[in-house]
Amino acid sequence: MTEQEFIEKMQEEVLDTDSEIVLDMALTDVEEWDSLSFVSFIAMAKESGFTNVNREAVNKAVTIKDLYELVK
């Protein structure tokens, strides 16, 4: 998955937002990042075949790029 594909999936499927998302953004700065998007991210990752993505790995993420590193 390319960076652009990941950002599009994050915007459309996980965060459900039209706001601009960039890899360097801190998750705490993303208003839409909440418990629902947390679960949606894990589901999106597993649907894409990334079985190593789990709650602990996502909890350690600080930025959008950290999430991308889990699924690239």
Name the residue ranges covered by the structural domains of the chain.
3-71
- Give the list of residues 6+ apart from residue 3 with CB closer than 8 angstroms, or none: 23, 68
pTM of the model: 0.92
pLDDT of residue 72: 86
Instruction: Determine contact, residues 23/3, Cβ cutoff 8 Å.
Output: yes
Q: Is the pLDDT of residue 9 over 90?
A: yes
pLDDT of residue 52: 83
CATH 1.10.10.60 fits 3-71, yes or no: no
The pLDDT tens digits for 19-65 are: 999 999 999 999 999 999 999 999 999 999 998 899 999 999 999 99
